[in-house]
Amino acid sequence: MTNATTRLHTPCNVKWSNPFRFDPNDDKHDKCVHFTAFARGTVYIVFSSIPTNKETWYSIEISTNGVVVYKGDKILDYSLNRNAVSIGSSNLYQSYFACLTETTESTVIEYGKTQANTNFGDNYLTIIDRTNPIHARFYTFANGEDDIAIMDIKVMPRSGLVQECKAGTVLDAAGHFCVRKPCHKACDELGGKVYTCIYMFIFIILILILKC
């Protein structure tokens, strides 16, 4: 992985269809896409609000070298953890999950691997997008230079997935998400992290001033 901040590779054969509708707020549940892939090379899962506009895409690139999450062509985050990457074999299958959680202030993207076809999974990446977050309503799959096979596609409530935090991540204080560096025990990763921490900082300063 280089220090690049823009897309290094482009997904191939991105095809959108009505059956692959995605509504994270449907029935008041956050949603996860579970799927199994046979892939020698790179696997992509792509979410979008307007499929014809690539700037409205969140895409997760799963290769044998690492996992990269993009917003449009911009890299949001990545993991080089060897347990997070693609197997790189067209004869062996691997099951994955990708979840989206929406609020008025943010969209949270989670990536991990499920344990076979169970509802237990290992979380390797959580990204909180607060800058003009995308509210995705479609999802699809794509490949890199090699063909892939996707099967056992399921869209399920996030509440039905039991996640274990991996690759140096820990559960946030609110018990919502696996995060790398919790901001503060009072912070809410779902949408109020920045504001809560600012308020906490101001509160501490005021206490110090009053004591002087």
Average pLDDT over residues 155-179: 84
Tens digit of pLDDT for each residue in 79-122?
999 999 999 988 899 999 999 999 889 999 999 999 866 789 99
Write out the CATH class of domain 30-180: mainly beta
User: Has residue 203 got a pLDDT over 60?
Assistant: no
Instruction: Report angle CA 39, 24, 56 to the nearest 5 degrees.
Output: 70
Average pLDDT over residues 57-76: 96
Instruction: Report angle CA 61, 67, 72 to the nearest 5 degrees.
Output: 45
Average pLDDT over residues 200-206: 44
Q: Where are the domains of the chain?
A: 30-180
Residue 3 confidence (pLDDT): 56
In angstroms, rounded to a whole number, what is the distance separating the alpha carbons of residues 9 and 63?
Answer: 11
pTM reported for the whole predicted model:
0.81
Residue 93 confidence (pLDDT): 92
CA nearest 8: which of 90, 51, 65, 88?
65
- Enumerate residues 6+ apart whose C-beta is below 8 A from 130: 105, 106, 191, 194
**Any idea which residue has 């499929």 for tokens?**
51
